[in-house]
Amino acid sequence: MTRLNKDFLWGGALAAHQFEGGVINTSKGYSVADVMTAGSAGRPRRITDGVIEGEYYPNHMGIDFYSHYKEDIALLAELGFRCFRTSIAWSRIFPKGIEKYPNEEGLQFYDDVFDELLKYNIEPVITLSHFEMPYCLAKEYGGFLNRKTIDCFIKFARTCFERYKGKVKYWMTFNEINNQMNYRNDIFGWTNSGVHFEEYENPEKAMYQCAHYELVASALAVKTGHEINPEFQIGNMIAMVPVYPYSCRPADMVLQVQAMHDKWFFCDVQCRGHYPNYAKKMFERKGYELDITQEDLEILKEGCVDYIGLSYYMSNTVDSTACRDISKAVDSTNSHSVKNPFIHFSDWGWGIDPEGLRYALNMMYERYEKPLFIVENGFGAADYMKPDGTVEDQYRIEYLRAHIKEMKKAVLEDGVALLGYTVWGCIDCVSFTTGEMEKRYGLIYVDRDNEGRGTYKRSKKQSFEWFKKVIASDGEII
Ligand code: BG6
């Protein structure tokens, strides 16, 4: 058998802050992503103190899905998508995060989007928070370092669950909640939790406190969602970057296990409902006395996720004989990380490793025995539109093909339970890490450049027709 089941959720993924636009002249409040300037491969995005006149914020326009949503969804339907993953911009519903009542204009926008998807039988798969905390919560409350932010998030989650309970079945709480483990890189703490960790005396400790409040918020959201509609499937969302030992040297293997603890930490709590022993020992060893109450521990237990959403782009490697300054390490979370000589890298330095996807799926399924959902995988490249209007992105087809092949092996040969696969950035959008438009992932090209100039016209790339056939054949023709 070389086909996947008919109910396998093939589709694409985007995130509100990267493609919606509709930030200026609407009732939406600013989010943490709205104060991030544009950067590039070697030049990080800056986070400004509010929206400053004269600065350029690429997310404010995104690709203007806000006005193009009908046209865009019609294209997704033409691709044969069975699902579409997007997020609800928290600050469109609660512009500051602290209001008592939600913003009806924002709620109506998502009603319109979900109705349009359902018209084509496209299942909405919704992330509650994909780097979109209201800016005011970050600024006034200190983001998730403040326990009060849990209540604000639950108010938002409850509002969404109640409003869309008849339209959305698949939810996720926080996108790539584990990014903030990289607390040295400002963008991750800021977008995950609205916190600049480096401002704290002990940034790592601040990160774990923040993580705890956010894990409680996630568990409470799962619990609340199930009370509102027991049919809901509520998942977490993890950036899965498996770590390899550089060699079969025993010390490399032990190092790999330790490096993987950092990858598993959030997922372990969200799937098992309690802190793993390696984390408890680490808190003890480092003397981290966190604000964790008995009631919090009960909530974690009661709010285990139904499935695991994951993004997969690359793998990393650790070598016990190499130890360099963390700022120079290949993966800035691990001073032992080195380049894997057996794989190639994209122009943005992301290691291309399709077999790593099969490995990751196996590891995750064996560890938790919960259904998995690949909600992001894709290839960022500087596509070129020829004068005749075509975009030949054969390299993207090759990347996706290789990953889908490995995914199929994981399902058909290894027995991994997988709900679906969504191509990241199915329509070109603003890059998260660099803020560039020209790091493109789409099957659909958008005429917009890094500075926001262009007609915003949508065109099908070569990969569009290819992926359409993949879906129509249930993954048999790749
Ligand atoms: C994931 C995020 O980390 O990777 C997305 O969930 C992001 O928001 C995607 O866009 C690709 O990263 P980038 O930086 O290439 O856009």
Domain contains 1: no
Task: Provide the residue range defining the domain that includes 39.
Answer: 9-472
d(CA 24, CA 151): 27
Domain count, the chain: 1
- Cβ–Cβ under 8 Å, residues 116 and 123: no
Domain contains 445: yes
Predicted pLDDT at 180: 98
- Cβ–Cβ under 8 Å, residues 13 and 32: no
Domain contains 205: yes
- Cβ–Cβ under 8 Å, residues 299 and 150: no
Decide: residue 228, CB within 10 A, 0-12 exposed, 13-18 middle, 19+ buried: middle
For atom 10 of ligand 1, the residue with the nearest CA is 432
**Cβ of 81 less than 6 Å from ligand 1:** no
Segment 254-285, tens digit of pLDDT: 999 999 999 999 999 999 999 999 999 999 99
Task: Choose the residue to mutate in 85, 241, 376 for probing ligand 1, maximizing ligand atoms within 8 Å of C-beta.
Answer: 376
d(CA 440, CA 335): 30
Query: Residues with Cβ < 8 Å from 23, sequence gap 6 or more?
Result: 30, 34, 59, 60, 61, 62
Q: Which atom of ligand 1 is nearest to the CA of 239?
A: 3
User: Catalytic residues, which ones?
Assistant: 376
Task: Choose the residue to mutate in 432, 440, 441 for probing ligand 1, maximizing ligand atoms within 8 Å of C-beta.
Answer: 432
Domain contains 4: no
Q: Which residue has the tokens 């005011």?
A: 136
At 209 the three-state DSSP class reads helix
Domain contains 3: no
CATH number of residue 289's parent domain:
3.20.20.80
Domain contains 462: yes
Q: What percent of the chain has pLDDT over 90?
A: 95
Strands 444-446 and 458-460: antiparallel
Ligand 1 centre from 317 Cα, in Å? 21
**Cβ of 11 less than 6 Å from ligand 1:** no
The answer to whether the complex's ipTM is over 0.90 is yes
Q: Which atom of ligand 1 is nearest to the CA of 237?
A: 6
**Cβ of 59 less than 6 Å from ligand 1:** no
d(CA 382, CA 366): 37
d(CA 9, CA 349): 30
| DSSP type of residue 51 | -
Domain contains 306: yes
pTM (two decimals): 0.98
Q: Which of 207, 265, 267, 209 is nearest to 235 (CA)?
A: 267
**Cβ of 127 less than 6 Å from ligand 1:** no
CB hemisphere CA count around 428 (13 angstroms) = 30
**How high is the mean pLDDT in each 10-residue block of the chain (478 residues)?**
93 98 97 96 92 97 98 98 98 98 98 98 98 98 98 98 98 98 96 98 98 98 98 98 97 97 98 98 98 98 98 96 80 88 91 97 98 98 96 98 98 98 98 97 98 98 98 97
Which residues on neighbouring strands pair with residue 372, listed in sequence order? 308, 418
Ligand 1 centre from 189 Cα, in Å? 15
| DSSP type of residue 404 | H
Predicted pLDDT at 436: 97
Segment 409-449, tens digit of pLDDT: 999 999 999 999 999 999 999 999 999 999 999 999 999 99
- Cβ–Cβ under 8 Å, residues 161 and 229: yes
Predicted pLDDT at 349: 86
Predicted pLDDT at 329: 75
Strands 444-446 and 307-311: unpaired
Domain contains 426: yes
